[in-house]
A and B are shown apart, each in its own frame.
Chain A
């Protein structure tokens, strides 16, 4: 919250000269690109995420036990990595087009038509491929936790399975899907590295140009604030559209009725899911393994161990703190009665839309004065001065992640708490249980899976995050992502393939673990129902 304010204030002294220069030259195109990219990525992610979630929960497609968690895997792939791999693969000089030319004996680009990967369209598809799991995960959880009695009731009223899905299940899942979509949107808009590979210029390009090129941080802050206002507007519009919808049920029935698909429909549905898994995870992962196979040594592997530990350390801290705060905010929103109860959740969510480097700057502006104060006090008391205690250590990184990823944790836990009937807030009290007891005995156990989802999402994101850690880290502190970035920026990903694989694998661990936990939980509920 404070960093956001710092940024807004700094934006106030923006230079109108530079702004009007940008406005007259490139800014309208950047804005158009930003809007189009946002719309395309969100639409594609919705198509990918909602359809696959619905197929997994509501139909009888084959292999769904495996697909159910395979579809989460693209989340472990950093977008900048996938962008690099795919632009390399489909570029004019890449292996795919080279083989095509060799095959058909084409000589130049005029001899054939091949889609250009480095376009807005190419970027949208690739970004959606790695971001859709947000929507998938939240939508799937929503579908799975819906009260099936409602769907049954709709069936007795004459709807067929499909109709009741569209009329009941989908609208009920809308809050979760909306949260997923807003995460996708924010992630897309704040991105810089990925779109750069695709040679697509967006508002973030303008932010970096004004700051690093024109040396005007104030105008850069102003542009970043515009970006945030745009996101704020979208979020509020979405919430308005959803206002007044509420669903409460006391006895939740989770036995799903499965829509039986014909065998050809099963085939298409299955292919759709597999294609997402292959394009979003398996293919890039194999490319990485191939690179590592050709270029890596065991010596390289051992240098990765301390780096990997740094990554995990930062990610665990970030995930734990963010989840705890999100829990507090969400419970406050739920239980407090004042008008302002939703404010913490909403405000803390904006951080996600701030480009990492801009956020890093805001961190420094926030903590450097505090560090100065600490040092002045130390000087006054005659103690040794501690130096840059906060802004010069991993504290700043962890705090940056707290700001950046609060939206993810808030979203996951908030959509979880909406599944808990409101009556449960008060029933225990009528039995004499205090607030603490109600929360620890009732809400927390029921929220367990949402809390895990939140923790997991933040952990994976923190593992992958690049720009903030790059700028805020102390001396000799490398994480997997900073190491890979250094190699990628010199077109030497081959040398860093092993590290990239490690990021992906570490990101996978919690996904797999969570999946196991989840299916255990499911068995339990089924037993209880029986």
Chain B
């Protein structure tokens, strides 16, 4: 009986293996993408690319563990391209030797040097500002990230989890500016000012301001545009002003979304074509229009709406430093028990 059943089971397993092998055989003109970005954000771009080049784009989307998957797959990895948000993920891939350089002149010409790796392993595609949203009832304010710790905002600040990549990157930039000790104090005072335990996402905080639960929140720039375009969320966005912090000093903290070429990319020719496409003018315009991020390519303007928020000064701190300070930032966030 047992023998028989185990035969049946192994029969099953063999059948699956056979049906599955159909999956792994890939046709010729393709490029395969591991994406930290959600498919609906990047699909219009890929569609445009396929239409132009005839190259099919395969995507798998996941945030957690993609680097690990790539590392485990090693030289048999089917991935060509990695699309990420947050500089730290790109640096992590670079540090773990999962990338290869792409020395394309087109990429170097299109992207300003502070937004790409010196060894050409990763490239930014868009930039996003970590903005401060403030209730309209506060009027026009000049705000510095340092003010999040100001006791006059006690019980009036909302934010998402301190462990979120966007928050961690901001804290990492604070470490670079103020050093470890001061940043910890800042985090502790910031925490004391919170109206509620860190929760939800960037939009949820604006909603809370709309409901008068708090006055100030942290949020990425493009969410403002997305809320304004959403019927239900427009009311939330209408209740706040978007502020670019630290304009009188170092400038607003900026993070990137980016792209990299996988070390063992099986279709590297197509992959390079896709990378060059992503920094081309039409693709950068699409990024600007649909995702409301700041295009990295010089000469491509942000969308009209985004441009209407005004010009601003950005912090010149190198992205590599931000990534380098990340673990320390995370430790400080734990130390301040920010999320508890």
Give me the interface of A with B, judged by CB distance under 8 Å. Answer: 21-22, 25-26, 29, 91-93, 98, 107-109, 116, 118, 198-199, 201, 205, 208-209, 211-215, 217, 317, 320-321, 324-325, 327-328, 332, 357, 360-361, 364-365, 368, 371-372, 375, 385-395, 398, 435-436, 439, 467, 470-471, 473-477, 482, 486-487, 489-491
The 9 A-B pairs at the shortest CB distance, nearest first, are namely: A475-B58, A199-B199, A393-B20, A25-B334, A364-B72, A93-B211, A368-B72, A93-B207, A387-B24
Report the separation of the CA atoms of residues A394 and B23 in the bound assembly, to the nearest whole angstrom.
Answer: 9
Contacts of B211 in A (CB 8 A): 92-93, 98
CB distance from A443 to the nearest CB of B (A): 10
CB distance A365 to B72 under 8 Å? Answer: yes
CB distance A21 to B334 under 8 Å? Answer: yes
Q: Flag whether B112 is at the interface (Cβ < 8 A).
A: no
Contacts of A439 in B (CB 8 A): 1
**Chain A residue nearest in CB terms to B211:** A93
CB distance A486 to B39 under 8 Å? Answer: yes
CB distance from A91 to the nearest CB of B (A): 8
Contacts of A357 in B (CB 8 A): 64-65
Given contacts A214-B330, A361-B68, A475-B60, is CB(A393)–CB(B23) below 8 Å?
yes
Number of interface residues of B (CB under 8 A): 63
Report the separation of the CA atoms of residues A520 and B327 in the bound assembly, to the nearest whole angstrom.
Answer: 61
CB distance from B293 to the nearest CB of A (A): 14
Contacts of B77 in A (CB 8 A): 388
CB distance B64 to A371 under 8 Å? Answer: no
CB distance A436 to B1 under 8 Å? Answer: yes
Contacts of A476 in B (CB 8 A): 58-60
Known: A212-B65, A387-B78, A471-B65. 16 other contacts (CB 8 A): A109-B195, A201-B340, A214-B330, A215-B327, A321-B12, A327-B5, A364-B68, A371-B76, A389-B17, A391-B73, A392-B73, A394-B23, A395-B17, A471-B64, A476-B60, A486-B38
Which residue from B5, B23, B197, B331 sits with its C-beta under 8 Å from A118?
Answer: B197
Q: Flag whether B307 is at the interface (Cβ < 8 A).
A: no
Report the separation of the CA atoms of residues A42 and B40 in the bound assembly, to the nearest whole angstrom.
Answer: 38
Report the separation of the CA atoms of residues A328 and B17 in the bound assembly, to the nearest whole angstrom.
Answer: 22
CB distance from A332 to the nearest CB of B (A): 7
CB distance B65 to A209 under 8 Å? Answer: no
Contacts of A116 in B (CB 8 A): 196
Given contacts A93-B210, A201-B339, A474-B60, is CB(A324)–CB(B8) below 8 Å?
yes
Given contacts A25-B337, A439-B1, is CB(A470)–CB(B62) below 8 Å?
yes
Chain B 145-159 interface residues, beta-carbon cutoff 8 Å to A: none
Q: Flag whether B142 is at the interface (Cβ < 8 A).
A: no
30 A–B contacts, CB within 8 A, in A order: A21-B334, A26-B334, A92-B196, A93-B210, A116-B196, A199-B197, A205-B163, A209-B330, A211-B68, A214-B330, A325-B9, A328-B9, A361-B65, A364-B68, A364-B72, A364-B73, A388-B76, A389-B24, A392-B73, A392-B76, A392-B78, A393-B21, A471-B62, A471-B69, A473-B60, A474-B60, A475-B58, A477-B23, A489-B38, A491-B204
Contacts of B210 in A (CB 8 A): 93
Report the separation of the CA atoms of residues A14 and B335 in the bound assembly, to the nearest whole angstrom.
Answer: 21
CB distance B204 to A93 under 8 Å? Answer: yes
Q: Flag whether B110 is at the interface (Cβ < 8 A).
A: no
Contacts of A107 in B (CB 8 A): 212
Given contacts A25-B334, A209-B163, A395-B17, is CB(A332)–CB(B24) below 8 Å?
no
Given contacts A213-B168, A476-B59, is CB(A92)–CB(B208) below 8 Å?
yes
Report the separation of the CA atoms of residues A284 and B24 in the bound assembly, to the nearest whole angstrom.
Answer: 39
Which residue from A26, A395, A470, A474 sits with its C-beta under 8 Å from B340?
Answer: A26
CB distance B64 to A467 under 8 Å? Answer: yes
Report the separation of the CA atoms of residues A238 and B327 in the bound assembly, to the nearest whole angstrom.
Answer: 41
Contacts of B200 in A (CB 8 A): 91, 199
Report the separation of the CA atoms of residues A199 and B158 in the bound assembly, to the nearest whole angstrom.
Answer: 13
Q: Flag whether B248 is at the interface (Cβ < 8 A).
A: no
Report the separation of the CA atoms of residues A118 and B12 in the bound assembly, to the nearest whole angstrom.
Answer: 45
CB distance from B69 to the nearest CB of A (A): 6
Report the separation of the CA atoms of residues A392 and B26 in the bound assembly, to the nearest whole angstrom.
Answer: 12
Contacts of A321 in B (CB 8 A): 9, 12
CB distance A199 to B161 under 8 Å? Answer: yes
Q: Flag whether B61 is at the interface (Cβ < 8 A).
A: yes
Q: Flag whether B138 is at the interface (Cβ < 8 A).
A: no
CB distance from B112 to the nearest CB of A (A): 28
CB distance from B196 to the nearest CB of A (A): 8
Q: Flag whether B272 is at the interface (Cβ < 8 A).
A: no
Given contacts A21-B334, A214-B330, A388-B24, is CB(A372)–CB(B16) below 8 Å?
no
CB distance A93 to B213 under 8 Å? Answer: yes
CB distance B198 to A199 under 8 Å? Answer: yes
Which residue from B4, B6, B25, B208 sits with its C-beta under 8 Å from A93?
Answer: B208
Report the separation of the CA atoms of residues A385 and B8 in the bound assembly, to the nearest whole angstrom.
Answer: 27
Given contacts A93-B213, A395-B20, A398-B16, is CB(A372)–CB(B74) below 8 Å?
yes
Contacts of B60 in A (CB 8 A): 473-477
CB distance B68 to A217 under 8 Å? Answer: yes
| Residue interface bits B31-71, CB-to-A below 8 A is 1, else 0 | 01000001110000000000000000011111111101100
CB distance B339 to A392 under 8 Å? Answer: no
Q: Flag whether B177 is at the interface (Cβ < 8 A).
A: no
**Chain B residue nearest in CB terms to A365:** B72
Chain B 228-262 interface residues, beta-carbon cutoff 8 Å to A: none
Report the separation of the CA atoms of residues A317 and B16 in the bound assembly, to the nearest whole angstrom.
Answer: 9
Q: Flag whether B113 is at the interface (Cβ < 8 A).
A: no
Contacts of B24 in A (CB 8 A): 386-389, 392-393, 474
Contacts of B17 in A (CB 8 A): 389-390, 395
Contacts of A332 in B (CB 8 A): 2
Q: Which of A25, A108, A360 has the most CB of B within 10 A?
A: A25
Report the separation of the CA atoms of residues A21 and B210 in the bound assembly, to the nearest whole angstrom.
Answer: 38
CB distance from B263 to the nearest CB of A (A): 15
Contacts of A477 in B (CB 8 A): 23, 60
Which residue from B23, B64, B201 sits with its C-beta under 8 Å from A474?
Answer: B23
CB distance B21 to A389 under 8 Å? Answer: yes
Q: Flag whether B92 is at the interface (Cβ < 8 A).
A: yes
Q: Which of B23, B74, B203 has the most CB of A within 10 A?
A: B23
Report the separation of the CA atoms of residues A214 and B168 in the bound assembly, to the nearest whole angstrom.
Answer: 11
Chain B 174-218 interface residues, beta-carbon cutoff 8 Å to A: 195-201, 203-204, 207-208, 210-213
Contacts of B59 in A (CB 8 A): 475-476
CB distance from A417 to the nearest CB of B (A): 15
Report the separation of the CA atoms of residues A91 and B158 in the bound assembly, to the nearest whole angstrom.
Answer: 14
Report the separation of the CA atoms of residues A25 and B337 in the bound assembly, to the nearest whole angstrom.
Answer: 7
| Residue interface bits B84-125, CB-to-A below 8 A is 1, else 0 | 000000001000000000000000000000000000000000
Report the separation of the CA atoms of residues A324 and B11 in the bound assembly, to the nearest whole angstrom.
Answer: 13
